[in-house]
Structure 1
């Protein structure tokens, strides 16, 4: 479980807009089994507590990042719709920064820092899956940032299964090439053999993530088996026009994405 608090000040005249965004966030939190409690004062001070499973919170925040600016824009108010949309982004930005402990840099034992809600042009991306290469390789990190966005979109059901599957395959291929040192044109099978030779992952240990404990899931797979299953499913989807990508992801999404995280930690 994880949780954090959020606080900020806002223009008192925008209380109805802040309440609309908070109420919409609470409804989404309830649907995702997240606890959201807020206190909004007429004096222009907001205090929010968020609690729940770590992954669920991050998926929830991705949902807010996509929805709240639109909701703010559609809420009647004293400013233009475009300005309210930017305020919605500012609302989400503050929540995301508290999630990442960004405001800790302003910690002072004598004075508590409280951010002011402002209209902003864009929000940060707090990845549901953190594919951050340990080596700090900027080129690889920038490409994997695209994967993070696609994976987040899949968790909130805003990307097709075929797109998510292709992106997962691409990320796995990039990471294996980086870790094995094989040329760019290497086949996936060659990458798996090279990974096995350098003991990149345990050859027999199964990936016993909690999703595999579901009664509908098959026997947990090893990393090697999971990657082989990934490439088979990707090839069948891309080259044969089969439509089993969603079924594959429903069973293997969390194990394969956690495996990508582990590979990124070594890259």
Structure 2
């Protein structure tokens, strides 16, 4: 189990808005089997959240999508748009606590709820290939659609198409040498040859790892590389033949393909021989 506490102050006129948001947070925590506790005293609120890492990240993404709209129903002197922004400000506070962004602050200090037009956001799946690849903004689309899958908000064929495109772009960014004329299968094969799928082994050096550990890493690399042709076949059936079982493929392979995209993004961010090579 993982967890963290959230504490913040708010203006008196935001009390009903905060109460409404906390009630909505409690309901969503129950659906995601996250332990939720809260306390509201005068102009301050305290919330405790406990669940596994992915549950908490999925939960925060659910709040990011829901709370601004729900906040419009609160009685408040704020305008509807300001209520939305205040709820977005609350999600930012929660996000910052989730990643320890307030750890530098002294013990007595807690943030005050403020309306934000561009709040800090987080991602359930971390596909950050680095600015030098030119894919950073493009991968936000992929991360958003992957998050939408958790909430049943994206059709399976659409997500299959997206993750196929993302994997192709990331493979090209991670590989050295010319890739423009390569087929998808050639990209995967060359990726295996160049060690693009060895994003696990950077955690353990050759000197420290046992033979068994390296065998396990190699098996995982082959497993991940074999997943991509399966993805390609499912995409072809869905897009060109109107057949296949995109939803079934994703239910069976979603976490594995998300892991592959995260790993390929890591390799694109740390190319072989680069200053930051793993």
TM interval, short-chain normalised: 0.7 to 0.9
Partner Cα separation in structure 2 for residue 185 and residue 39 of structure 1: 60
Deviation at 1:140, TM superposition (A): 2.1
Deviation at 1:243, TM superposition (A): 5.2
Check 1:184–1:75 CA distance in 2 against 1; reply closer, same or farther (3 A cut).
farther
Deviation at 1:97, TM superposition (A): 1.5
Partner Cα separation in structure 2 for residue 139 and residue 193 of structure 1: 23
Q: Deviations over 1:78-106 (max 9, x none)?
A: 333222111111111111111122223x4
Deviation at 1:14, TM superposition (A): 2.1
Deviation at 1:185, TM superposition (A): 4.1
Output the aligned Cα RMSD: 2.0
Deviation at 1:59, TM superposition (A): 0.7
Would the aligned equivalents of 1:73 and 1:88 in 2 still touch at CA under 8 Å?
A: no
Deviation at 1:8, TM superposition (A): 0.7
Gaps of 5+ in 2: 199-216, 269-278
Check 1:240–1:204 CA distance in 2 against 1; reply closer, same or farther (3 A cut).
farther
Provide the residue aligned with 2:62 in structure 1.
63
More off after superposition, 135-144 vs 52-61: 135-144
Q: Trace 1:187-226 onto structure 2 (pairs within 5 A).
A: 187-201=183-197, 205-206=219-220, 222-226=223-227
Secondary structure at the aligned position of 1:124 is classed as: coil
Deviation at 1:131, TM superposition (A): 1.0
Q: Which runs of 4+ in 1 moved over 4 A?
A: none
The count of corresponding residues between Structure 1 and Structure 2 is 249
Partner Cα separation in structure 1 for residue 241 and residue 86 of structure 2: 46
Deviation at 1:136, TM superposition (A): 5.0
Would the aligned equivalents of 1:93 and 1:123 in 2 still touch at CA under 8 Å?
A: yes
Provide the residue aligned with 2:204 in structure 1.
none
Provide the residue aligned with 1:96 in structure 2.
95
Could you tell me the TM-score, scaled by structure 1's length? Answer: 0.86
Would the aligned equivalents of 1:223 and 1:259 in 2 still touch at CA under 8 Å?
A: yes
2:108 to 97, 112, 132: 112
Deviation at 1:51, TM superposition (A): 1.0
Q: Deviations over 1:60-90 (max 9, x none)?
A: 1111001001110022333332221111111
Provide the residue aligned with 2:77 in structure 1.
78
Partner Cα separation in structure 2 for residue 226 and residue 94 of structure 1: 38
Q: Trace 1:225-244 onto structure 2 (pairs within 5 A).
A: 225-242=226-243, 244=245
